[in-house]
Amino acid sequence: MTDGTGALLAGTRRAGHRPAPGASRRTRGAWPFAVPAAVFTLAQLALVRPVLGLGWDEIVYISQVTSHHPAAFFSAPRSRGVSLLVAPVASWSSSTVLLRVHLAVLSGLGLYLALRSWRGLFPTRVLVTAGAFFASLWVTLFYGPQAMPNYWVATGALITTGCFLRHRADRSAGGPLWGVVAGAALMALMRPTDAVWVAVPLLVLALAGRHGRLLLALVGGLVAGAAEWVIEAYAGFGGLGERLAEASRVQGGLGVQIAVGDQLRSLGGRALCRPCTGPMPHPVITLWWFVLPVLAVLGLIVAVRARRTLCTLVPLACATTAALPYLFMIGYAAPRFLQPAYALLAIPVADALWYLLTAPRGRWRPTVGALVALGLAGHLTVQLAVLVHTVDRNTDSRRDWARMAGRLHRLGVRPPCLITGHEAIPVGYYAGCSSGATAGNNENTTAAEILRTADRIPVATLTGPGGTPPGYARAWPAHRIGDLQVRIAPAPGPGTAG
């Protein structure tokens, strides 16, 4: 089998003898990557459904660019990349369905471009299988049509790594060099710190090999993507160090913390595991998580035997550094955090699967093939089951926010208005109100400012089950909406200044 760096160079030499392959040949070589991308897009629309309401983090990102909702508090760890991604729709339309379709189509296009970035490094069948495997994960399907950054970091990681290896194999190729710039910029635009972790092995390899152009492209892309985040750090947080320190505080303090168990608990469909308590999911649900690194190591062994070690070792190294902070440096978990690692691992995993299907000889081949097919069928069944459960649960919770907003409207809390307290950000968005907090990670106001605001517009404070209303709201009239207690500031008198 001819592939890897040798295949890329051999392909280049062959192209030298036939200098005019034509656009039709390029199209024929690209269409296999469009198949998993198109199926991925359609699967999102069918399984996640465009009617799924907006989640908490989505609301923060989207509210930055809408004209029909006040902007929610934007904390230090966040970056504006997602807001830019949704701006073509969210800036003029409040339709969640339209936004979901927009993101599903973009995520399918992103998968297509990411797979194309690896062409020539592995056989097409391996790359198509890798794309199908990554796209079949419930976390990929669930977050593909959502306004969240992690899928796009994963896409950028695939583009950056694939183009890096292609340019390293053929330094006369300028296209892959620009792919490195674009992929690195995409990662950094979405999550600058994640981009740096992904890029560490590439930076080391570029320095060790004295690949000046690759190093310049990689650093240039990272700087271009992170520029806005750094500028905002000095404009709004007092400097880069101060923003990084605040981001660490918001995330519970980064340091040596074992979050492997937390990630396992989140695999059952928990969007955010903080605090991460409760029982582990059924072993059937977590089995794929343990099989994944085993197959990746097998893929590396296959690559060593085929003398194309680097093309497999590099994505493995980048996947490891991408996962490191979320497994060993943070005190909580969310399954989406590991999407870049899953995307990079998908390529050696797919290579290993094809090896298992084609390497055995004689009577062992049908047996091994049947076992691989059975394992993949079981994996797909588990992923779809978790996806359906996750979609249903999130649909219900987001409908609860919408119902809460409707009840607040009936109580007289209508835009312009202010919501504070328990789940103020999502409830405030659904109600068309601003949101405020006097403490915690989303602190953006004071009690005195809230009281002054209550002299001008309706203000409501939400208290969760077992909670205590804040001191400034204890004298306000109380109402019960489900499990929540709502206290609404008295309407301003006729003599109050507006």
pLDDT tens-digit profile of 42-55?
999 999 999 999 99
pTM of the full structure: 0.92
User: Where do the H-state alpha helices sit in 237-308?
Assistant: 240-250, 260-266, 283-305
Q: Which of 197, 117, 112, 115 is nearest to 150 (CA)?
A: 197
Ranges of the chain whose pLDDT falls below 50: 1-27, 496-498
pLDDT at 494: 59
Q: Residue 5: its pLDDT value, please?
A: 40
Choose among 31, 45, 81, 77: nearest CA to 61: 81
What does the pLDDT look like over 310-350, one tens digit per residue? 999 999 999 999 999 999 999 999 999 999 999 999 999 99
pLDDT digits (tens, 9 = 90+) for 474-490: 999 999 998 999 999 99
For residue 492, say if its preceding peptide bond is cis, omega within 30 degrees of 0: no
pLDDT of the residue at 19: 35
Contacts 24+ apart (CB under 8 A), 225-232: 225/81, 225/184, 225/185, 225/186, 225/187, 225/188, 225/189, 225/190, 225/192, 225/195, 226/188, 226/189, 226/192, 226/195, 228/79, 228/80, 228/189, 229/79, 229/80, 229/188, 229/192, 230/192, 232/80
Q: Given this model, what pLDDT does residue 185 score? A: 98
pLDDT of the residue at 2: 39
